[in-house]
């Protein structure tokens, strides 16, 4: 990375016009403007200075929860109110769709308020001329990757990139990389990695090459040059000595990585041959455009007079090049970030890069005339924390103070840039509550999880906040884990206590029992070699095949492998002789497959040479499983979601989860439904159905703590959320639990140096290499390389601990009222005792009262002192023996004593008795059920009990009249389209809820997706894309869906010339007993202040009753928008625009709130 100040090509500042009257005089200070707009909170001094800063580059260091989004929105409004810029001349860029939507919504709302005040005729000239009645209140707010996509689209042709290039989604990129690895014909004798590992390495290295503007060929050449240098050296320069294995390992590492770079080059060629780009190519090409196409910088600077770069600490080197080349040299760029929250190093971000901003975006110094002189941009700070309680803030500052000390020892970043050591600590706001920090140290992770779950129950009924009417707000709780493996222990404790929970992210989802079984079945169906997956099913609770029968099945699989080998080696025409069934007592050979053995079970009475044979019970179960799998294989040619649905039903997983007591069917199905969503997401970005590619994709998700992360979600107050710390960035909860603070786990001791593994780009080739430790390769011999690599490893560990500390800082600052942190001495079945993480040990000082003040932290009542912790793992204190397999309804039993090991009693007898009673009562019919509730016939029913019993009987009687007698509940949240379906055919909706069948997006749905994406881009809001979401992933279907014709129709319509106030707005509102969610395609503001909602339709216009039914969607949107904006529903209009017919349809009899509630009530009554 260059350490020199970046200057414009013509040597003159680009942001400051030559007109001496620009900018106009300031008419309103930020404080005056805040009062004029009627806002509750006036900006602080720090905020005010940033809001009213000159139109020059500026770095803003904004701590967690310090109000950076509000400050950025206020700056835009202040600039517009004072006539310095128009709204459309502002560009705001951030990382996630959620953050972009929040920033855009705040800016729009403030501009609308400003417009309203300006139109009152008070004489205050708030808006520039012609703006008062304008609806052009839309600044450009986008994500980094979406902005890059626009740059490539607008200027890429000058670098040979066609506008119609196909953008590969994540699944497509994975599939293409798999094809490249499978077809690789280069040297591979040095490979030690599995195919899936190489596929992951190709995808990762390709992405890193793009992020750091390196060509794969250059990387391969650099690695081969280093290999040649290394092999030319003796092991020891001073004396002859045979090199150890470590010396050979370095050579193999360099050679393997060079081969991976070669694969990346072939992967790039394969994309080029298909006319495609992947996600990383987009940013790389945009940076090259900014660097090599002067017109791009000129046009973008003319278009955007003010640029706001949010979360700048998470940008990559390529993104730094992109924006510095477009908007460097004095342009009004404000970068906002927090070095203490730079946690995405694995995605190419660098904590030190934030401080390079002041050099890459300099300000002009000295007189305006004459040669330009440049100096680093100034730095401002936001240090007031508006989110955290005082005690929680004290814990966060403990983490940040240690980071500051580490940075001070390293010295200023970037050769003179402002050092992170100068970042001041956060201060509590004047309204901050005291908050609570709880510290815990437990004997085992099981005891830790139990204590956590007990406290979750307590905080679930704690009133942290109240609504304006005094009613309580349901608390939001989250458990943040460093590793997904921690979630299962905690999840089991939640299950035992009936705590509703939500696992956020695909990785944690793959560890849940029902999903594990589902994936195991998919593996067995797709790959006959996955005996391990079949073992999961055979030994599970459903089939319960015992050890002796498993050994017999193993013998049979080896027997089949031997017969197959004999057939392949027999001379032509010869038949192999009968095999006596003898097999050696050894592990299965590579050719043996339990899946094959299951398909071809031995004849009755077969016995192996070891004397093992299948029992009659096992044979029956294996035959049923074989038939089931054979039937399921018939669905392998269908779409993925259909296959998943059939597997789920065949395994009875839908019934299994529906039987979970204490939760609704929708809560019980949450993991299966989330997995279905993940599969549908894979399918949307895949050209073809490939179950093996999907399973390979899942393997990467399971193996990577941070890879294939689901898009960030929202806070859920209806359940406790379990997620990784990385996924928690940008969210906040009332109470946050951070378990597993053990040394080696958090901070992790995982090796991240580029010289280990096969995937990472060598750090000397990275754009941010000046901020990273380096391996000194200038050595006289190979021994010097080995010793230097050890020093490099130690330096990387120190560097990695700083990133882990920033991760802890992020975790701690998510909490508003309660921060619960803990450690466990013994984790799982590990043989060694875990020591406490420094991130927890350093907080112990908060538990000691300072002079004249109370302690900032308390110790959990069940926490143990180090002396009281057990010397041995609780799991090894007593040997536990149980018969296997065991009846899942009875639990394990100790064969030595016959005692049941489950704490609660067995359930089979009571469940069988209950089932028999239900069946008997159902046979009697509802009349007998009703008669039993007559107090005269049943003296035990007296007083209130009699009334309750009769009501219960009437409900049972009504239920018995329902078709099939199935219990169905509407979920707490439904989509607007589901409400439409309830109006049209409630029985079908209820049937679908009873047996959910996943549906692949059909032709019409994908056609609508393509058109909606184009409209978003047309109105300038395309690509509020999350990390990992590829823009334009449906570009390959445009021609098939005749997108050009729809675009032409839209351009000729009335909507093309109107500027929407909002695009793709998510809304939700309560209708009766449910909350209805939807997304309004476009919201326009009429000149009279009325709102106009439009829903784009790519299908044909319905008529008659069907059009009236479809209008329910508009009625919901109108009601939701009126409630959201706090305006009468009469001031909101709504319409469909049928693009295919070029017709606007405005139903005049949209349903009222009462009529919509009637639809829900009718559905509930007829359940």
How far apart CA 232 and CA 32 sit, in angstroms, is: 72
In whole angstroms, give the CA distance from residue 840 to residue 740. 10
| 62 marked ligand binding residue | yes
Residue burial 11-32, b: 16+ Cβ < 10 Å; e: rest:
eebbbbeeeeeebeeeebebbe
Burial class of residue 1010 in the structure, from the number of CB atoms within 10 Å of its CB (0-12 exposed, 13-18 middle, 19+ buried): buried
Handedness of CA 1034, 1036, 1037, 1042 (dihedral sign): positive
CA distances from 291 to 7, 12, 142, 1105 (A): 13, 17, 21, 58
Phi, psi (deg, nearest 5) at residue 379: -120, 135
Q: Is the dihedral of CA 416, 420, 421, 422 positive or negative?
A: positive
Residue 64 annotated in ligand binding: yes
Q: Residue 944 burial (CB < 10 Å; 0-12/13-18/19+)? A: exposed
d(CA 738, CA 391): 16
Q: Are 830 and 478 in contact (CB under 8 A)?
A: no
Report whether 113 contacts 76 (CB < 8 A): no
Q: How many CB atoms lie within 10 A of CB 574?
A: 10
Distance CA 451, CA 455 (A): 6
Q: What SS3 class is residue 227? A: helix
Cα distances (Å, whole numbers) of residue 1025 to 140, 164, 292, 334 = 14, 19, 26, 21
**3-state secondary structure (DSSP) of residue 450:** helix
Residue 414 in marked binding region: no
SS3 assignment, position 302: helix
For the chain, the straight-line distance linking the first and the last C-alpha, in angstroms and rounded, comes to 65
User: What's the longest Cα–Cα distance across the chain?
Assistant: 108
- 536, 516 Cβ separation under 8 angstroms: yes
Under 8 Å between Cβ of 1123 and 1166? no
Helix (H) or strand (E) holding 1069: strand 1062-1071
Q: Are strands 384-385 and 733-738 parallel, antiparallel or unpaired?
A: unpaired
Element (H, E) at 1089: none
Q: From 588, 617, 594, select the one nearest 887 (Cα to Cα).
A: 617
Does 729 carry a binding-site annotation?
no
What lies within 8 Å, CB to CB, of 332 at 6+ separation is 15, 54, 55, 56, 57, 305, 306, 307
Helix and strand numbers (H, E) in the chain are 38, 25
Residue 1099 annotated as binding site: no
CA of 474: how far to CAs of 460, 477, 495, 719, 1004, in Å?
8, 10, 20, 10, 40
Q: What does 684-713 look like in DSSP terms, one character per residue?
A: HT-SS--HHHHHHHHHHHHH-SSTTPPPP-
Q: Is 788 annotated as a binding residue?
A: no
Asked if residues 271 and 176 have their Cβ atoms less than 8 Å apart, the reply is: yes
Between CA 1052 and CA 872 the distance in angstroms is 77
Instruction: Calculate the CA dihedral of residues 139, 145, 149, 152 and round it to 10 degrees.
Output: 110
Sign of CA dihedral 911, 913, 914, 916: positive
Cα(997)–Cα(1030) distance, integer angstroms: 27
Residues marked as binding? Answer: 62-69
Residues marked as binding for ATP? Answer: 62-69
């Amino acid at each position: 990375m260059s350490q020199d100040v970046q200057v414009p090509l013509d040597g003159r500042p680009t942001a400051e016009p030559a007109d001496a009257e620009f900018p106009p005089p300031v008419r309103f200070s930020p404080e005056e403007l805040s009062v004029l707009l009627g806002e509750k909170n006036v900006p602080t001094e720090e905020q005010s200075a940033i809001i009213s800063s000159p139109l020059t580059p500026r770095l803003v260091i904004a701590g967690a929860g310090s109000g950076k989004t509000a400050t950025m929105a206020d700056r835009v409004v202040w600039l517009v109110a004072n006539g310095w810029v128009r709204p459309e001349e502002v560009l705001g860029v951030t990382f996630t769709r959620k953050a972009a939507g929040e920033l855009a919504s705040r800016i729009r709302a403030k501009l609308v308020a400003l417009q309203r005040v300006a139109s009152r005729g008070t004489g205050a000239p708030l808006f520039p001329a012609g703006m008062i009645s304008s609806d052009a209140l839309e600044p450009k707010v986008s994500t980094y990757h979406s902005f890059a996509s626009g740059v490539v689209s607008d200027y890429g042709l000058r670098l040979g990139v066609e506008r119609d290039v196909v953008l590969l989604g994540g699944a497509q990129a994975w599939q293409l990389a798999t094809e490249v690895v499978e077809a690789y014909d280069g040297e591979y004798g040095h490979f030690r990695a599995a195919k899936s590992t190489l596929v992951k390495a190709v995808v990762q290295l390709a992405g890193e090459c793009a992020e750091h503007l390196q060509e794969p060929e250059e990387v391969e050449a650099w690695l081969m040059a280093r290999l040649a240098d290394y092999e030319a050296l003796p092991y020891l320069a001073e004396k002859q000595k045979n090199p150890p294995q470590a010396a050979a390992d370095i050579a193999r590492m360099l050679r393997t990585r060079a081969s991976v770079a070669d694969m990346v080059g072939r992967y790039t060629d394969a994309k080029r041959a298909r006319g495609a780009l992947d996600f990383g190519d987009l940013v790389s090409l945009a940076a090259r455009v900014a660097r090599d196409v002067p017109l791009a910088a000129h046009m973008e600077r003319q278009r955007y007079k003010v640029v706001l770069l949010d979360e700048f600490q998470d940008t990559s080197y390529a993104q730094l090049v992109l924006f510095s080349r477009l908007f460097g040299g004095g342009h009004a760029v404000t970068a906002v970030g927090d070095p203490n929250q730079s946690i995405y190093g694995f995605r190419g971000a660098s904590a030190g890069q934030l401080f390079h901003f002041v050099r890459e975006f300099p300000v002009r110094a000295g007189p305006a005339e004459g040669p330009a002189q440049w100096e680093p941009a100034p730095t401002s700070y936001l240090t007031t924390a508006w989110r955290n309680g005082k005690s929680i803030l004290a814990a966060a500052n403990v983490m940040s103070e240690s980071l500051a000390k580490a940075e001070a020892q390293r010295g200023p970043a970037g050769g003179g840039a402002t050092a992170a050591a100068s970042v001041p600590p956060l201060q509590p706001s004047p309204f901050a509550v005291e908050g609570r920090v709880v510290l815990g140290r437990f004997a085992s992770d099981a005891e830790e999880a139990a204590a956590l779950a007990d406290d979750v129950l307590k905080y679930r009924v704690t009133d942290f906040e109240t609504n304006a009417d005094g009613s309580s707000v349901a608390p939001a709780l989250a458990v943040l884990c460093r590793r997904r493996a921690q979630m299962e222990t905690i999840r089991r404790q939640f299950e035992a206590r009936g705590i509703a929970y939500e696992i956020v992210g695909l990785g944690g989802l793959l560890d849940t029992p029902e999903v594990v079984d589902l994936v195991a079945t998919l593996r067995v169906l797709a790959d006959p070699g996955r005996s391990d997956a079949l073992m999961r099913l055979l030994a599970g609770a459903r089939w319960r095949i015992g050890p002796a029968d498993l050994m017999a099945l193993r013998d049979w699989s080896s027997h089949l492998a031997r017969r197959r080998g004999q057939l392949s080696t027999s001379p032509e025409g010869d038949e192999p002789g009968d095999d006596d069934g003898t097999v050696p007592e050894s592990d299965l050979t590579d050719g043996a497959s339990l899946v094959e053995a299951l398909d071809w079970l031995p004849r009755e009475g077969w016995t192996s040479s070891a004397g093992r044979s299948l029992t009659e019970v096992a044979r029956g179960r294996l035959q049923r499983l074989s038939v089931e799998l054979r039937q399921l294989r018939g669905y392998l040619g269908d779409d993925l979601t259909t296959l998943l649905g059939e597997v789920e039903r065949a395994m009875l997983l839908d019934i299994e989860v529906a039987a979970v007591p204490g939760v609704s069917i929708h809560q019980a199905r949450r993991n299966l439904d989330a997995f279905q969503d993940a599969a549908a997401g894979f399918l949307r970005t895949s050209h073809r159905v490939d179950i093996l590619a999907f399973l390979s994709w899942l393997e990467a998700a399971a193996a990577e703590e941070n890879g294939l992360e689901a898009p960030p979600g929202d806070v859920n107050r209806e359940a406790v959320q379990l997620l990784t710390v990385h996924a928690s960035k940008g969210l906040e909860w009332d109470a946050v639990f951070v378990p597993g603070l053990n040394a080696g786990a958090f901070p992790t001791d995982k090796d991240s140096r580029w010289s280990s593994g096969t995937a990472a780009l060598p750090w000397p080739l990275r754009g941010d290499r000046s901020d990273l430790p380096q391996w000194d390769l200038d050595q006289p011999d190979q021994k010097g390389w080995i010793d230097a690599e050890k020093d490099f490893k130690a330096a990387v560990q120190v560097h990695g601990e700083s990133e882990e500390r920033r991760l802890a800082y992020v975790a701690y600052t998510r909490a508003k009222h309660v921060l619960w942190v803990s450690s466990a001495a013994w984790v799982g079945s590990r043989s060694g005792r875990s020591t406490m993480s420094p991130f927890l040990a350093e907080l112990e000082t908060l538990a000691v009262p300072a002079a004249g003040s109370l302690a900032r932290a308390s110790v959990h009542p069940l926490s143990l002192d180090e002396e009281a912790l057990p010397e041995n793992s609780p799991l090894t204190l007593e040997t536990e023996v149980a018969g296997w397999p065991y009846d899942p309804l009875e639990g394990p039993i100790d064969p030595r004593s016959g005692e049941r090991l489950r704490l609660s009693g067995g359930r089979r007898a009571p469940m069988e008795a209950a089932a028999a009673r239900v069946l008997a009562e159902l046979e009697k019919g509802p009349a007998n059920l009703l008669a039993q509730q007559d107090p005269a016939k049943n003296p035990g029913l007296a007083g209130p009990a009699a009334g309750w019993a009769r009501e219960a009987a009437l409900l049972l009687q009504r239920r018995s009249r329902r078709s099939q007698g199935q219990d169905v509940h509407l979920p707490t949240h439904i989509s607007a389209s589901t409400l439409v379906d309830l109006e049209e055919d409630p029985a079908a909706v209820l049937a679908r809820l009873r047996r959910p069948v996943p549906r692949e997006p059909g032709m019409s749905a994908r056609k609508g997706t393509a058109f909606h994406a184009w409209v978003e881009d047309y109105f300038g809001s395309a690509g509020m894309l999350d990390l990992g979401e590829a823009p334009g992933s449906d570009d390959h279907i445009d021609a098939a869906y005749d997108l050009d014709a729809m675009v032409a129709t839209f351009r000729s319509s009335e909507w093309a010339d109107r500027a929407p106030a909002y695009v793709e707005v998510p809304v939700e509102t309560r209708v009766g007993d449910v909350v209805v969610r939807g997304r309004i395609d476009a919201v326009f503001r009429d000149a009279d202040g009325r709102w106009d909602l439009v829903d784009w339709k790519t299908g044909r216009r319905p008529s008659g009753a069907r059009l009236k039914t479809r209008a329910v969607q508009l009625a919901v949107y109108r009601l939701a928008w009126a409630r959201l904006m706090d305006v009468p529903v009469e001031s909101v209009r709504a319409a469909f625009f049928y693009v295919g017919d070029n017709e606007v349809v405005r139903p005049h009899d949209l349903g009222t709130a009462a009529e919509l509630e009637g639809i829900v009530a009718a559905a509930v009554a007829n359940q």
